[in-house]
Structures are given as structure tokens and as C-alpha cells.
Amino acid sequence: MHATGAGPGAAQAGATASRRIGPYVLITALDDPYSRIPVPERRYIARSDDGEHTVLLSVPHRGTDPQRFMAEADTSRYLLGPFVASAVTCAGPGEAAWAARPYLPGLPLPTALAVHGGPLPERTVHALGAALAESLGVMHGQGLTYAGLSPAAVLLAADGPRLTCFGAVRAAAPDGTPRSGLPGLEPGSLPPEQAAGGHPRPLGDVYALGSTLAYAATGHTTPEGDELPPALRTVISRCLSRDPATRPQLSELQGVFAAGLNQESASAEFTTTTTALLGPGWLPSRVIAAIAHQSATVLAAEIPPPTVSTSRQD
């Protein structure tokens, strides 16, 4: 962020359970290692030694700025909004960089597409667009630019999406440095002005929102126009305009996505309340089942006790 500015991973539980980062034991990697979609940071599901706290633990990629990563994670503590997964604890002075947020069962967007077997239903995409537009609008109202939205940064939970990977663009490289090709950054989600090293601006978040929704609807962050569903084609194409001045405002987008969802559900009462749009059925059944499986796997994970060194006294 900048002032204006289990799914498949569960199979790795045995390989990661003995590893520790900060006060946490790693249970499993969150992201599918075989996914071709870059992830802005390395993410794990982890638990404290006493078993009381399960968290989503993030660490920066090698080659990115750990100090910037920590600054962005610390700033995320103060974010508002129901669809933001903010950090609650971070590495202390002298520690390697890490940040933890409360664990909520959920799948990264690329994993959700893999589980579903392809692009998500239009109802899901409309609801996702409304929720993300609301969250970004709240963030911009706080004087912040997210500068990290991409498919992998979005987690899908049963009650709605969650935004993670804050400030990934700024953590990857400072202003003035081209960011294309840097670790963890999905090239199709980088606004052109930021890919070239420009200062992150709120309308860059609109571009990244368009690319993320394009991915949800087609499996590609930069689809051809005719690949997009007709009901989403115009609004997503406007978000993906190379000229920031012609991109829509978030308040408009929230209304457009809500209206599109209501048109699909002719039997339902019209609503623009995002929470209502994320009611039962907003996610496909296979995705819900995978989220439930992840939750059960994490709940059953056994945490090895910490190693205690003993000395013999004569």
C-alpha cells in the first residue's frame, strides 16, 4: 500500500510442518506450487506452539525489499472494511521479515479456478467485483493506494473475498524502477504506468481490479474482448484502459456489478448491499467443498512440540 498511494497446498503439510517462522510452525503452503500465476509473497498456513492461534503467514520473495514489505504490512493493520485481511502481528526488530493475519478458510483465486475446472460463474464475478470495488473505495478514502491487486492476492472465503499482499508493487521496486518481470508480480495485473516505474495511484487499482475480474471470468488477466462474457465486457474493458483518465470510478463500478448481479437473479429482491450479494450460492459448490476440506485439514494438523535443549548436570 502506498499513501496516495487448502486446496492443493495441503499435500505439502508433511514437508513444511517442521519449519518455523517467527513464533509459528508452518502447517502447509497456501498456494499451489504448480500454478503459473505469480504470487506477490510467499504464504503459509501456520499455528502457534500452544495451538491457540492459526494464522496466514506471509514472507517476502527473495529479491524484493524486506523493509518495504514490513512497512506495507504494518500499514495494513489500520485498514478498514469487511473484505480486507490485515496483518495483526509482524516480525520484530532484527528478525527476518514476516507478517501474520488471522486464518480464515479460503482459496486463492487461481486455486478456485483450478478446483472449479475453469472460469467462475458470472454471478460469482459480479459479486467479487462489487466486494473488491467497495474495499478499494474504503482504502482510497483513507488516502491509500493498494498497489498489489492481482488474482493471487484475492482469497475466496465462504462469506466473501479477502484482500492480501498489500503494497506488492512498492515492495518489489521503488518508484522510477521498471517493475515488469520482478518476483511475484503478475504482468497482466500491473497498470502500464506502474509497470514502467510510475508512482502508484488509485486509478491503477482500478486497472488491477479489471485484470483480476477478467481472470476470474476467463482464466486470463489480459483476454481478448470477445473472450469476456457480454455482461462484463464493457465494464472490464473500461477498467483496462491504458489511459488512467478514462477508467471508471470505484463508486460507479460497485453499482454496475451489483446491478448486473440483480439482473441475473430476477427472482431476488434488488439490492446494492455487498453483503447481501455474497449470500448462499455466491461461490460454486466445488469451491465451497475445497474450502471445507482445507479447513478440516488444517484443524487436524498436528504441531510438533518445540525442541527443548537439555544439559546434564554432574
How much is the pLDDT for 275? 78
Domain boundaries, the chain: 2-105+289-300, 107-288
Superfamily of 2-105+289-300 according to CATH: Phosphorylase Kinase; domain 1 (3.30.200.20)
Q: At 46, is the pLDDT very low, low, confident or very high (cuts 50, 70, 90)?
A: very high
d(CA 154, CA 67): 23
d(CA 54, CA 47): 4
The full 3-state SS of the chain, as one line of letters, equals: CEECCCCHHHHHHHHHCCCEECCEEEEEECCCCCCCCCCCCEEEEEEECCCCCEEEEEECCCCCCHHHHHHHHHHHCCCCCCCECCCCEECCCCCCCCEEEECCCCEEHHHHHHHHCCCCCHHHHHHHHHHHHHHHHHHHHCCEECCCCCHHHEEEECCEEEECCCCHHHHHCCCCCCCCCCCCCCHHHCCHHHHCCCCCCHHHHHHHHHHHHHHHHHCCCCCCHHHCCHHHHHHHHHHCCCCHHHCCCHHHHHHHHHHHHHHHCCCCCCCCCHHHHCCCCCCCHHHHHHHHHHHHHHHHCCCCCCCCCCCCCC
How much is the pLDDT for 40? 95
Rg (CA), the chain: 20
pTM: 0.89
How much is the pLDDT for 80? 87
- Identify residue 142 by its one-letter amino acid code: Q
Q: At 16, is the pLDDT very low, low, confident or very high (cuts 50, 70, 90)?
A: low
* Region of poorest pLDDT, from 199-203, 271-275, 295-299: 271-275
Kindly state the average pLDDT of the residues 247-275.
Answer: 72
Q: What percent of the chain has pLDDT over 90?
A: 76
Class of domain 107-288: mainly alpha
Which residues does 123 contact at the CB level (< 8 Å), separation at least 6?
261, 264, 265, 281, 282
Copy the grid coordinates of residue 1: 500500500
Straight-line distance from the first to the last Cα atom of the chain, in angstroms, rounded to the nearest whole number: 57
Kindly state the average pLDDT of the residues 179-208.
Answer: 95
* Region of poorest pLDDT, from 127-131, 186-190, 214-218, 222-226: 222-226
How much is the pLDDT for 307? 62
The full length of the chain comes to: 314
